[in-house]
Structure 1
Amino acid sequence: MSRLSTSQWSWLWEVMSDYEITLAFLTISVVALAINLWYKATLSNSSPPLPPGPLSLPIVGYLPFLGPELHKQLTHMAHTYGPIFKFHLGSKLHVVINNPELAKEVLRDQDETFSNRDLTIAASIISYGGQDMVMANNNSNWRKLRKIFVHEILSNKNLEACGSLRTDEVRKTIKAVFSNVDTSINISKIAFLTQTNVITNMIWYSKSNKGGKDGSDLGDELQIVASNIVEFFGKPNLSDFFPSLAWFDFQGIERGMKKQLDKLDQILTSIIEDRIKSNLERSEDKVGHEGKKDFLQMLLDLKDRKDASSLNITQIKALLLDIMVAGTETTSTLTEWAMAEIMKNHNVMKKVQEELAQVVGANNIVEESHLSRLQYLDATIKETFRLHPILPFLFPHLPSQDCTVGGYNIPKGCSVFLNVWSIHRDPRYWNNPLEFNPERFLINKFDYKGKDLKFFPFGSGRRTCAGIPVAEKMQTFILASLMHSFDWRLPEGEEHDLTEKFGITLRKRNPLMAIPSQRLHDVRLYN
C-alpha cells in the first residue's frame, strides 16, 4: 500500500471534518427534537384531565341511559363520580356541578367565561335567534336589554307605580275564589291567571290593546302556550346532539316550538301595531294607567331613539315574551308547590295564618305594605324554592374558552349544568334536607340573589334572573291573600301528592286541586 501524500492527507482531513460536523449537527438536531417532543408530552400530561364520568356508547354517548327524572339521576351519579362529572350526548359534552364550592368557581370566580348560553334549537326559536334577555349570549345586545329591563322597566319607581294594578288583580282573584267556595279549584290556574293579568296590564294597560281578547281568554291561551313551551324546552332533542340530523326534526320539537312562537308573535304584533297606530293618531295615548307609561310604551320610545340604546321590533317582542312566559311560569308553579306543602304540613299552615292575622288583621285584607313584615311566610316561600326549585338546573352555561373547574379541564363550548336541586337537598349543607321546615330560613337569612351558593333558585352572578323584584312581590302577595282569606282542604278521598314532573321547570305531576272555605267574618272583604 502506498503512503498518502501530504495533500491527500489534507483532503481526507477536510472530508472527515465535514462529516463529523454534519454528524454532530444531526446528533444535536435529533436530541433537540427529542427534548421538544418530551417537553410537549410533559405539558400534555400535566394539563388537567376532563372530569370523571360514566362510559358512553359510540356515536350516541350516554343518551340511551337517560331517565325521565334527570334531576334525580344526575344527583345519584354525583354520588358515584363526585361533585363534578361529565357525560356525552351524541357529539355534545355535558358537565354537571353538584356543590356550592364548584358553583362558586363557575358563577363568581369565572363568571365572565361562563356567562354565555347553550342555545338549543328550541331556545333559538322562542328567543328569536337569541335576541332576548334570557337566552342571549353575553354580548352588547344582552347587556343593553338587561340594563333597560333592570333600570327602566323594573325600577323601584315603576314597580311602585304599578302597585294598584297588582292589588286590583289579586282582589279579583280573591273575589273569584270566594264565588267558588266549597268547590274544587285548580291552584296553578288561578295563580297563573292572576299573574298574567298583572303582567299584561303592566306591559300594555289599555284593554283595547289585547288583540280582541279579554283578560280571561288571553290568560287561558297564554297558559296553554307557556305550558307547551316549557314542555318542548324540557325534552332532550336529537337535533341538538346530532346536528347533521337537525333537518329531519325527528321529534317535532322545532315544528312545535315554531307553532307556539307564531301564536305569541301574532298577539304581540297585533298589540304593538295597535299601539303605534294610536300613538300616531293621538299623542295622549302614550300614557297608560294613571298617567304612567306602561312597559310597551317605554320600549317603543326606545325604538325611536337614535343612539346605542335603541331597540328594534324583534328585540321588543323578545323582551316582552321573556316577561310574559318566565314571569307567569315562575309565580304559578311556586304558588302551587307552596300551597301543596303548606296544606300537607298543618303546623306550617297554622303559623302562616297566625302571622297573617297578626300583621294584616282579622278584619282586613292583605296589602302590599304588609308583605315586608310577613317573615314566616317569606321563610315558607324560600323553603318551597329550596325543595322545589323551579329551574332544577337553571339555564345551562356555555364556557367561551377552555378553563379549569375543580382541577378539571372544562372545554370551550361544552354545556355546564348547575344542579340546584341536588345542592338544595345536600345533607352536608342542610339539616334534615328532605323535611319541609321554614324555620331554617328564619335562622339563616338567605336572599334570592345567590350570594350564598347553598341557596340560589334564581341563579347567581351576572346571569341572575333580572325579574326577582317583581317575582318576589307577586308570589308573596298572591300566597298571602289566598292563605289569609280562606281555609283550604283537599277534595274528599284525595291524598297529599308531591310527585314531581321534570322538565326545564320542575312542576307538580298532578295539578293541585283544593277546596276553599270562608275564613274572614266580614263578607264585604271579599268584594
Structure 2
Amino acid sequence: MKLPSGPQPYPIIGNMFDLGQNPHRSIANLSKIYGPLMTLKLGSITIIVISSPQLAKEALQKHDQSFYGRATPAVSQVHGHDKVSMIWLPTTDIRWRVLRRICKNHMFSQQKLDETQVLRQESLRKLRDYMKDCCDFGRVVDVSSMACSISLNLITSSLFSRDLSQFDSGPNVFMDIVKALIQGVSTANIADYFPVFKFVDPQGIKRRAKAYVGKMFAILDDIISQRSEARRQDSALITNDILDVLLDFSQRSSESELPQNQIKHLLMDLILAGTEATAITVEWIMAELIRNPEKMAKARNELQTLIGSDKQVQESDISRLPYLNAVVKESIRLHPVGPLLIPHKAEVDLEMCGYLIPKNANVMVNVWAIGRDPRIWHNPERFEPERFLDGKIDFKGHDFELIPFGSGRRICPGLPLANRTVHLVVANMIHNFNWKLQGEKKPQELDMNDKFAFSLHKALPLQAIPIRLS
C-alpha cells in the first residue's frame, strides 16, 4: 500500500517551499492537483492533508480511535504542560478523560453557563461604555485590540470573576503575557520539523515561552491561593464561577483525578484558546459587516425588532436571532480561526481510500479549503449569511462541511462558551451602533487579506469609528 500522492519533496526540507507564508491557501491549491487526500513532507515529518468533508468525517469519526494522539510541539513542553494539558494528552489517557468530563459536565454545561452569565454581563457593560466614549469623541477604535480585551475579560470573568484587561492603551501585564504566549504558539518552530534541533531551541521560542508561562502561573497561583483562603474563611464568599467548580471537584474527588497544581494548566489552556479564538472571530465578523453595510443593517434591524433598542441582548436571546446566527456561521466559513485545525497523530498504520496512513503521521484537515469549495458552497467567496437561514448546517461538529472547532472527542471543549460570547460581543457592537472606516474610505475598499500564524488573522488589523444611533 502506498502513501497518498503529493508534490515531490526536496531533500531534507521536504515541501516547505511549496507552502509559503499562507499554507492554508497553498495546500488548497495543491489539493486541486493531488486530490482531497494528500501527502506532504515537512522536514522529517509526514503530513496527511484532508480537504473534503467526506474524508474529514471518515478520519475524525470512523478512525477516531486511531487518530487519538497529538504531535506535541516543543513550545507545549515547557513546565511539563504537554503531560497534563487536555489539548496535548492522548484521548486514551485517563487524565484526558477526567478533564474532558469536567469541562463537559461541570464547566461548560448549559446549566453552568446560565449560572455564570451575570459575570459576563458586567464585562459587556464596560464594552458598551467604551464604545459610547469613542462615539462621543469621534475616536478610531482598534477593533482587533478591543476584541482581544473583551474576549479575555469574558473568559476570565467566567473562570474566576475578574476582568484582567482594559480597553484603553495603558499597561496591561496579563494581556502582554497572553499575547506573548499566543505568539510563541503561533510561530513556526524549526525544532518541530527537525528533531536534531529539539534540545537546542535555535529560535529561542521555548526559552521565551518558559519565562512567560512562569509569569502566568505566578498570577494564576495567586488567584487560586486567594480563592482557596477565602473559601476556608467564609463559605459565603463562594462565587460559583468556574474556579469554584474546579476547587469543589478537586476537594471532593481523589487528589489523583484533579490535583490543584493541574488547575492552573487547565486555566491557561482555556484563557489562551478562548481569547484567541473569540477575538479573531469577532474581528472577522465585524470586518465582513462593515464591508457589507446592507448585511449589518439587516442584523441590526433583527436585534432592534426582536430585542428593542432600549434593552440589552441576553444570552437567552441568541437562539431567537436567526440572522445574527447566520452571520456568525458565514464569517466562520470564510475565515476559520484554525484553518488547518490542530493536527491529529496516527497511532497505528491504517488504510483510507486504498492508501496508507502511516503510524506517527500528522493528519491535518484544511477546513479553510472545505469552506471555500465551489462543489459544496454556491458563490463560496461571497459573504452571504442567507445561505444559513434554513438552519440545516451548524458548526458544532456534526456537519463536516463546517467544522472550524473540530469534531469527535477532540472538538473544542469551550465551544458552548465561545458560541455565546461571539454572538454577544457582535450583538453589542452593532445593536445601537453603526461603524464606518476612517476618512473617505469606502466599505468595499476594506483590506480582507489574511495572515497565517497557526490561527488566521486579518493581515491588517481592523480600525473603524463607531457611530451611536439616535
TM-score bracket for this pair, using the shorter chain length: over 0.9
Count residues in correspondence: 464
Which residue of structure 2 aligns with residue 169 of structure 1?
123
Deviating more after overlay: 121-130 vs 179-188: 121-130
Residue 430 of structure 2 corresponds to: 483
Q: C-alpha displacement at 1:259, in angstroms?
A: 2.4
Query: Residue 309 of structure 1: CA displacement?
Result: 6.9
Aligned 8 A contact 2:22 2:452 in 1: yes
Partner of residue 16, structure 1: none
CA distance in 2, matches of 1:418, 1:334: 19
Asked if 1 retains the 8 angstrom alpha-carbon contact of 2:130 and 2:167, the reply is no
Q: Deviations over 1:150-204 (max 9, x none)?
A: 1011122211111212222111210111011121011122222223222222222
Worse-matched range after superposition: 233-242 or 394-403: 233-242
**Residues 309, 432 of structure 2: 8 Å contact kept:** no
Aligned to 2:456: 506
Q: Secondary structure at the match of 1:263?
A: helix
Letter of the 1:186 partner, please give it. D
SS class of match (2:453): coil
Which residue identity lines up with residue 510 of structure 1 in the other structure? L
The Cα offsets for residues 325-368 of structure 1, whole Å up to 9 and x where unpaired, read as: 11111111111100100110122112111111211123333233
> Does 2:439 correspond to 1:439?
no
Q: Does 2:85 match 1:132?
A: yes
Q: Which moved more, 1:488-497 or 1:299-308?
A: 299-308
Tell me which residue corresponds to 1:276.
Answer: 228
Select 1:114's aligned residue among 67, 70, 84. 67
Deviation at 1:424, TM superposition (A): 0.5
The Cα shift of 1:206 comes to 6.6
In structure 2, C-alpha distance between the alignment counterparts of 1:226 and 1:218, rounded to whole Å: 16
Q: Which amino acid aligns with 1:183?
A: R
Residue number among 403, 408, 417 corresponding to 2:355 in the alignment = 408
Which of 13, 21, 25 in structure 2 is aligned with 1:72? 25
Q: Pick the aligned partner of 2:159 from 194, 203, 206.
A: 203
What does residue 48 of structure 2 align with?
95
Cα-to-partner distance string for 1:300-322 (whole Å, 9 max, x where unaligned): 22222453873113321111112
Structure 2 CA distance, aligned partners of 1:264 and 1:115? 29
SS in structure 2 opposite 1:247? coil
Asked if 1:325 is matched to 2:272, the reply is: yes
Measured against aligned partners, the alpha-carbon deviations of 1:468-524 in whole angstroms (never above 9, x if no partner) come to 1111111111111110121110011444011101011101111111101111x3xxx
If the length of structure 1 is used for normalisation, what is the TM-score? Answer: 0.84
The equivalent of 1:389 in structure 2 is 336
Q: Secondary structure at the match of 1:356?
A: helix
Q: What is the identity, as a one-letter code, of the residue corresponding to 2:250?
A: K
Contact 1:98 1:422 in 2 (8 A): yes
Contact conserved, 2:372 with 2:380, CA < 8 A, in 1?
Answer: yes
Counterpart of 1:497 in structure 2 is 447
State the SS of the aligned residue for 1:49. coil
Structure 2 distance, partners of 1:327, 1:264, is 15
Q: Which residue identity lines up with residue 192 of structure 1 in the other structure? A: C
Greater shift, 339-348 or 381-390, is seen at: 339-348
Q: Is the 8 A contact 1:132 1:318 kept in 2?
A: yes
Return the match for 1:105 from 58, 67, 70: 58
Counterpart of 1:473 in structure 2 is: 420
In 1: Cα distance, 2:18 partner to 2:108 partner: 43
Q: Which moved more, 1:266-275 or 1:417-426?
A: 266-275
Structure 1 residues 217 and 487: CA distance shift in structure 2, 3 A: closer
CA-based RMSD:
2.1
Structure 2 CA distance, aligned partners of 1:178 and 1:307? Answer: 49
Give the drift of 1:427.
0.5
How far apart in 2 are the matches of 1:206 and 1:462? 30
Q: Residues 15-414 of structure 1 correspond to what in structure 2 (within 5 A)?
A: 48-125=1-78, 128-138=81-91, 139-181=93-135, 182-205=138-161, 220-285=172-237, 287-288=238-239, 293-307=240-254, 310-414=257-361
Tell me the distance in 2 between the aligned counterparts of 1:214 and 1:406.
Answer: 52
2: CA distance between counterparts of 1:122 and 1:282?
A: 40
CA contact 1:192–1:219 (8 Å) conserved in 2: no
Distance 1:490 1:306 in 2: 54
Does the CA-based 8 Å contact 1:126-1:257 persist in structure 2? Answer: no
* 1:214 CA drift (Å): 8.1
2-side partners of 1:408 and 1:245: how far apart? 31
Q: Could you list the runs of 5+ residues in structure 2 that have no partner in the other structure? A: none
Compute the displacement of 1:216 (Å).
7.6
- Could you say if the C-alpha distance between residues 466 and 397 of structure 1 is closer, same or farther in structure 2, counting changes exceeding 3 Å? same
CA distance in 1, matches of 2:448, 2:467: 23
Q: Secondary structure at the match of 1:162?
A: helix
Q: Which moved more, 1:159-168 or 1:58-67?
A: 58-67
SS of the residue 1:393 aligns to: coil
Superposed CA offset, 1:4-23 (max 9, x none): xxxxxxxxxxxxxxxxxxxx
- SS of 1:79's equivalent in the other structure is helix
Deviation at 1:390, TM superposition (A): 0.4
- Kindly provide the amino acid, as one letter, of the partner of residue 160 in structure 1: D
Give the residue type in structure 2 aligned to 1:501: K
Moved more, 492-501 or 339-348: 492-501
- 1:179 is paired with a residue of what secondary structure? helix
Q: CA deviation at 1:280?
A: 3.4
8 Å CA contact retained: 2:159, 2:243: yes
TM-aligned CA distance change 1:351 to 1:122, over 3 Å:
same
- Write the distance in 2 (CA, Å) between the matches of 1:402 and 1:427: 33
Structure 1 residue 143 displacement after superposition: 0.8
For 2:218, the aligned partner's letter is: Q
Contact 1:448 1:468 in 2 (8 A): no
Deviation readout 1:394-453 (Å, 9 max, x if unpaired): 110001111112221001111111000000000010011001100111135212222111
Is residue 55–residue 62 contact of structure 1 (8 Å, CA) maintained in 2? Answer: yes
Percent identical: 36
Q: Aligned runs of 1:420-439 on 2, under 5 Å?
A: 420-439=367-386
Indicate the residue corresponding to 2:411 in structure 1.
Answer: 464
- Residues 435 and 466 of structure 2 are in contact (CA less than 8 Å); yes or no, is this contact kept in structure 1? yes
Query: Counterpart of 1:76 in structure 2: which amino acid?
Result: N
Equivalent position of 1:36 in the other structure: none
Give 1 or 2 for the bigger CA radius of gyration: 1
Contact 1:231 1:504 in 2 (8 A): no
Bigger mean CA offset, 438-447 vs 299-308: 299-308
Contact 2:146/2:167 (<8 A) preserved: no
Query: 2-side partners of 1:200 and 1:100: how far apart?
Result: 34
Q: 1:83 to 1:424 in 2, by over 3 A?
A: same
2:364 counterpart of 1:417: yes
